[in-house]
Chain A
Amino acid sequence: MQQLFRVFFICVLFLAPSLAQAKTFNADTFTLENGLQVVVIENHRAPVVTHMVWYKFGAADEKQGESGVAHFLEHLLFKGTTKVPDGQFSNSVKKMGGVDNAFTSHDYTAYYQNVPRASLAKVMEMEADRMGNLLLREEQIAAEREVIIEERRQRIDNTPQAKFQEQIMSALFVNHPYSTPIIGWLHEMKELTRDEVLSYYNTWYAPNNAIVVVSGDVTAAELKPLAEKYYGPLAVREVPRRERPRPAPIVAEHQIIMQDPRIGQPVAMKNYRVPHGSEAMEVLAQILGGTSTSRLYRALVIEQKIAVSSGADYDAIAMDDTTFSLYASPAPGSSIQQVQAAIDKEIRTLIAKGVTLEELNGAKNRLEASFTYYRDSLQGPATLFGRVLASGMNIDWVENRVDRIRKLTIDDINDAIDAVFESSDLPVTGVLLPQIKPAPTSDKGEKK
């Protein structure tokens, strides 16, 4: 048995050079007549599956003044249909030994169940049922509205860091719906009505606006008849195009300061609005702040000893623009201004000298390995494909990602440095402070 597996790996290694591109997951896909796309990622380690439904509808598709409705609808999808009454969806999944949950982002709403393979048909039947047959009573809406308000209090209002993040997004994405928090503004959440929620459900929850992703112990050939049986009968509906206003240019440098007695550790951030989907920016974020060998950590924490932590983030997967962020927390005895100046100095060095081949190769290795680690999990690959497809990119974009990362050159990274740090859109600086102090005098910033 083990020998067979070795043969399998040798085959792939041998074949790889002759192929245009080596695919990472070998996902299979087909589309039903009603437009529902199905993606299968096989993994036969154990007789279990992850079944996910992704709607190409998220918080950024809400109308102004109705913030939080996408996430509210996500909660209400568990409130029952004629066939599967309130509470019975999750109850059925639990009886299978499974887990189910759902989540909402700016770009998508997703529902999933991890269940034994034998229960796949049943969860597909229930998920297809609630795509078209949701019943909502007024008293269910009232109780669940309280739940999402408690969720906002727990996740955001009780956490100064989260409130701070909301303010930064508001500044980065002026005139674009990413500026509105996914969970909604509290005053608008309180006003959401049954009619509003249902109108979004009727508009966006259609088979031609959904993607089913299944990973685990099943093949496309086995899945297709099940998908046709359960999702096939759902009627095509006209779904609006997701056209969002373009964000306004950021011509003045913003500094957002928040002070809260519950902040134990000050933080300085620098946030840039940048295009999505860039592997070069992903590598750049790794080099700048991905690990404790990265530039910011070495300079600020190890060498200058002015910070206790630092990092950089870039999330490539989004429909519209995304953020590139740098951050650091000052060490005792160092000021937030010292840390800000040191971050700016690293940026200037980066612009002037670029990155080294060593740095590039280390980052490539880490990113490439992360895809192998993905394959070690059941739900990881399904989530990745769902996010990418629901954000408007395609399967090849995922499958060929490792290849694109491998081919990146120092010139590509230098182009990314220009795109992030010399963009005409200025950064939004954030300062989170523990207590009320006189506002720090603004640092010199960078002359562009």
Chain B
Amino acid sequence: MIRILPAIFALMVLAAPAFAAKDKVLDVQVLKSPSGVEAWLVEDHSVPVISVNFSFEGGLAFDPEDKPGVGRLVSILLDEGAEKMKSHEFQTKLSDNAISMSFTAGRDAFYGRLQTLSKNKDLAFDLLRMALNAPRFDQDAVDRMKAANVSEIQENMGEPGWLVARTFNGMLFEGHYYSRPGFGNLESMSTITRKDLLQFVKEQFGRNVLKVAVAGDITPDEVKATLDKIFGTLPEKAASVELPATTPGYPGKTILLPLDAPQTYIIAGGQGIARTDKDWHASVIMNYILGGGSFNARLMKEIREKRGLTYGVYSSLTNMRSADIIQANMSASNEKVEEAVRLLKESWAEMAKDGPTAEELADAKSYLTGSLLLQLTSTSDISGALNDIQRDGLGPDYINQRNSEINAVSMSDAKRVSAKVLQADKLAIILVGKPKNMNVDILLDRPPGMEEPKADKQ
């Protein structure tokens, strides 16, 4: 074995990097199946693993307004039996062959993920085909997953990190389908029927809203044949639903959901910037400098490093189909909340006024361009990233051009976008805890959207 190794590694050096041709981050192949299903592939045979990520555009909007959580239940029931295979048989096939199949009902899309050893790929693909085309939704499985989801909702209701996000979404998108609780609530869990689940599947799983990304130990021909098998028999079109654009509400307001805990969880958020805006790459740089994960980010320096007010504070930009937001998340001991929030707003305002320093701009570019490869080290990283790019409506070569877009951002771009996006006085502040000395505009008694069943209220 030891004598053989050098030869093997010589081969690997010739082939390296396996994921890409020279001068490219990734070598993305665009494939089309005979019946017209498209997929992007990054081929790599160095480890016998295949990862698939796919999505159907839609998501929360496909949940009936009075029954949030239908998509969520579908996502945990698709692997509970399909065609003639009942739950136990289906689950045994998955687990005994170490196939991982999971689904997520997201805000803007319904996502699927499959990972398998390449030796089990035929079985894995066939199980996925069955799950998407002919889920059983047997009553005992539906009851079991409803009970599991209710249990999860009850657990979430005691978790401050979950409560603050729920309150943020419920309040800032009040009246819009983005305010709906993705997991559903106790009321909807008591009213959703098997028919609702079938309806969701029928309306959501259309080939016109499908995006597929594959990475790993599989050839283009195998992918093409597989695409038709899994997705070829799905309806051509998803149902059309209205997707009105929206902007985050409650600018400048402080909203408190009381919770008896030693720390308060905090989200500050407001209007962000569109993915199609010419300043989008500049905003990514701005966010990195403000609070994008570095210990040297401004928020981290001011609130954690200098004063020890929090364990961590992070800002992020989120682009949704119908809204764009910027937000910062942190938690702090109840008596420190006022100071932490004040410092957050000060950092926000300072950056809006002066923009970044030349050094910060250079460091941010250096990080953002250098980090790209490090985010693409496993097959599932790659298929996941490809699916995101597909969903953003960008081309297969975007990943190879992205660094030049980052490098092209100038100081005046960064200043302009900071002044436009960072409006400290328009931030909505959501608090979950028992903060001291905070002026609160709106006091809630329960997280928005979390209704209990009408019949047996406690």
Interfacial residues, chain A to chain B (CB-CB below 8 A): 1-2, 4-9, 11, 15, 19, 23, 26, 42, 44-48, 78, 87, 90-91, 94-99, 114-116, 142-147, 149-151, 153-155, 157-160, 217, 219, 260-265, 290-293, 298, 301-302, 305, 308-309, 329, 331-332, 361-362, 365-366, 368-370, 372-373, 375-379, 434
User: Is B440 among interface residues, defined by CB-CB distance under 8 A?
Assistant: no
Ranked 8 nearest A-B pairs via Cβ: A97-B370, A146-B308, A369-B98, A264-B154, A262-B158, A378-B377, A97-B371, A44-B16
Interface contact A15-B147, CB-CB below 8 Å? no
Taking CB atoms, residues of chain A closer than 8 Å to B48 are: 9, 372
Contact A157 B95 (CB under 8 A): no
B12 near A: Cβ within 8 Å?
yes
Give the residue name and chain of the A residue nearest to B147 (CB): A308
Asked if residues A94 and B12 are in contact (CB atoms below 8 Å), the reply is no
Given A308-B151, A332-B150, do A11 and B311 touch, yes or no (CB 8 Å)?
no
Q: Decide yes or no whether B227 CB sits under 8 A from chain A.
A: no
Tell me the bound Cα distance from A309 to B47 in angstroms: 34
Distance in Å from the Cβ of A144 to the closest Cβ of chain B? 7
- Chain B residues in 8 Å Cβ range of A265: 151-152, 154-155
Q: Is B455 in the interface zone, CB < 8 Å from A?
A: no
CB distance from B342 to the nearest CB of A (A): 17
User: Contact at B46–A154, with CB atoms within 8 Å?
Assistant: no
Min CB distance B240 to A, Å, is 36
A151 to B49 Cα, complex, angstroms: 37
Contact A158 B144 (CB under 8 A): no
Q: A48-B374, A370-B98, A378-B377 are in contact. List 19 more A-B contacts (CB 8 A).
A: A5-B46, A11-B4, A15-B1, A44-B18, A46-B377, A87-B296, A91-B295, A97-B367, A97-B373, A147-B304, A151-B311, A158-B261, A291-B95, A308-B148, A308-B151, A361-B96, A369-B98, A375-B49, A376-B49
Closest residue of A by beta carbon distance from B163: A262
Residues on B with C-beta less than 8 A from A116 are 370, 373-374
Q: CB-nearest residue of chain A relative to B44?
A: A45
A98 touches B311 (CB 8 A): no
Contact B98 A1 (CB under 8 A): no
Please list 18 pairs of residues, one from A and one from B, whose beta carbons are closer than 8 Å in the complex, sorted by A's number. Answer: A1-B15, A8-B8, A44-B12, A45-B19, A78-B295, A95-B370, A97-B369, A97-B372, A114-B374, A116-B374, A142-B308, A147-B308, A149-B308, A262-B259, A263-B155, A376-B379, A377-B377, A377-B378
Which residues of B in the span 245-304 have a Cβ within 8 Å of any Cβ on A? 259-263, 294-296, 301, 304
Whether, in the assembled complex, B411 has its beta carbon less than 8 Å from a beta carbon of chain A, the answer is: no
Instruction: Flag if B366 contacts A154 (CB, 8 Å).
Output: no
Q: Mark B220-238, 1 if CB is under 8 A from A, else 0.
A: 0000000000000000000
B418 to chain A, nearest CB (A): 20
User: Counting CB contacts under 8 A, is B451 at the interface?
Assistant: no
Write the nearest CB–CB distance from A309 to chain B, whole angstroms: 6
- A379 (CB) vs chain B CBs: closest residue: B377
The answer to whether A309 and B148 touch across the interface, beta carbons within 8 angstroms, is yes
Report B-chain residues with C-beta under 8 Å of the C-beta of A142.
308
Do B154 and A154 touch (CB < 8 A)? Answer: no
Measured CA separation A22–B8 after assembly (Å) = 16
Query: Measured between C-beta atoms, what is the minimum distance from B366 to chain A in Å?
Result: 5
Residue pair A362, B92 in contact (C-beta under 8 Å) = yes
List chain B residues, Cβ under 8 A from A45: 16-19, 44, 46, 377
Residues of B within 8 A of A (CB): 1, 4-5, 8-9, 11-20, 43-49, 51, 87-88, 91-92, 95-98, 115, 117, 140, 144, 147-148, 150-160, 216, 219, 259-263, 294-296, 301, 304-311, 331-333, 363, 366-374, 376-380
Q: List A contacts of B46 (CB < 8 A).
A: 5, 44-45
Residues B154 and A362 in contact, CB atoms below 8 Å apart: no
Residues from chain A with a CB closer than 8 A to the CB of B117 are 369, 372
A261 touches B260 (CB 8 A): yes
Bound together, the chains give a CA A403 to CA B14 distance in angstroms of 31
A263 touches B158 (CB 8 A): yes
Q: Are A44 and B13 within 8 A (Cβ)?
A: yes
What are the residues of chain A within 8 A of B16 when measuring CB–CB? 44-45, 47, 217
> Are A47 and B373 in contact, with the CB atoms below 8 A?
yes
- A47: nearest residue on chain B (CB-CB)? B17
Question: How far is A291 from B94 in the complex, measured between Cα atoms in Å?
Answer: 10
Cα of A441 to Cα of B382 in the assembled complex, Å:
53
List A contacts of B263 (CB < 8 A): 150, 153-154, 157-158
- Other-chain contact of B371, A8, A15, A19, A98 (Cβ < 8 Å): A98
In whole angstroms, how far apart are the Cα atoms of A290 and B95 in the complex?
A: 9
Query: Residues of A contacting B373 with CB < 8 Å?
Result: 46-48, 97, 116
Question: B296 contacts which of A26, A94, A260 (Cβ < 8 Å)?
Answer: A94
How distant is the Cα of A114 from the Cα of B367 in the complex, in angstroms? 12
- For B158, the chain A residues whose CB sits under 8 A away are 160, 260-264
Residues in chain A near residue B92, CB distance under 8 A = 293, 362
Query: Provided the pairs A44-B16, A46-B373, A331-B147 are in contact, do residues A150 and B363 lie with their beta carbons within 8 angstroms?
Result: no
A290 to B16, CA, bound (A): 37
| In the complex, chain A residues whose CB is within 8 Å of the CB of B331 | 150, 153-154, 158
Q: Please indicate the chain B residues that have their CB under 8 angstroms from the CB of A301 in the complex.
A: 144
**Cβ of A44 and Cβ of B45 under 8 Å apart?**
no
B296 touching A309, Cβ below 8 Å: no
Residues of chain A within 8 A (CB-CB) of B308 are 142-147, 149-150
The complex places the Cα of A7 from the Cα of B369 at a distance, in Å, of 36
Q: Which residues of B contact A159 (CB under 8 A)?
A: 159
Q: A375 — nearest CB in chain B belongs to which residue?
A: B47
Q: How far is the CA of A362 from the CA of B47 in the complex (A)?
A: 22
Return the chain A residue nearest B80 by Cβ.
A292
One of A42, A264, A379 near B155 (C-beta < 8 A): A264
Closest Cβ of chain B: how far from A184's Cβ, in Å?
14
Contacting pair A46 B91 (CB below 8 A)? no
Q: Can you name the residue of chain A whose Cβ is closest to the Cβ of B362?
A: A95
A372 to B51 alpha-carbon distance, docked (Å): 13
B332 touches A365 (CB 8 A): no
**How far apart sit A368 and B97, CA to CA, in the bound complex (Å)?**
10
Contact A291 B367 (CB under 8 A): no
| B residues near A46, Cβ cutoff 8 Å | 17-20, 373, 376-377
* A219 to B321 alpha-carbon distance, docked (Å): 45
A292 and B91 contacting across the interface, CB-CB below 8 Å: yes
Select B15's contact among A5, A78, A309, beta carbons within 8 Å: A5
Most buried by B among A7, A44, A217, A301: A44
Cβ–Cβ contact A143 & B307, under 8 A: yes
Are B95's CB and A94's CB within 8 A?
no
Most B Cβ at <10 Å: residue of A87, A97, A217: A97
Cα A155 to Cα B265 with chains together (Å): 12
CA distance A241 to B296 in the complex (A): 38
| Listed residue (A2, A19, A158) with the most chain B CB atoms within 10 angstroms of its CB | A158
Give the shortest distance, in Å, between A273 (CB) and chain B (any CB). 27
How distant is the Cα of A420 from the Cα of B156 in the complex, in angstroms?
A: 33
Pairwise interchain contact B148-A378, C-beta atoms closer than 8 A? no
Which residues in A have their C-beta under 8 angstroms from that of B262?
153, 157-158
A98 and B309 form a contact (CB under 8 A): no
In the bound complex, what is the Cα–Cα distance between A87 and B219 (angstroms)?
A: 46
- Is the pair A91, B45 in contact by a Cβ cutoff of 8 Å? no
A332 and B147 form a contact (CB under 8 A): yes
| Interface pair B96/A366, CB less than 8 Å apart | yes
- Set A6, A91, A145, A298: member contacting B294, Cβ < 8 A: A91
- In contact, B91 and A293 (Cβ under 8 angstroms): yes
How far is A157 from B378 in the complex, measured between Cα atoms in Å? 35
Closest residue on chain B to residue A219 by CB atoms: B9
Contacts A94-B367, A115-B374 given: A8-B49 contact, CB under 8 Å?
no
Cα A444 to Cα B305 with chains together (Å): 53
Do A15 and B370 touch (CB < 8 A)?
no
Name A99's contact: one of B219, B374, B378 (CB within 8 Å): B374
In the complex, A331→B147 CA distance in Å? 7
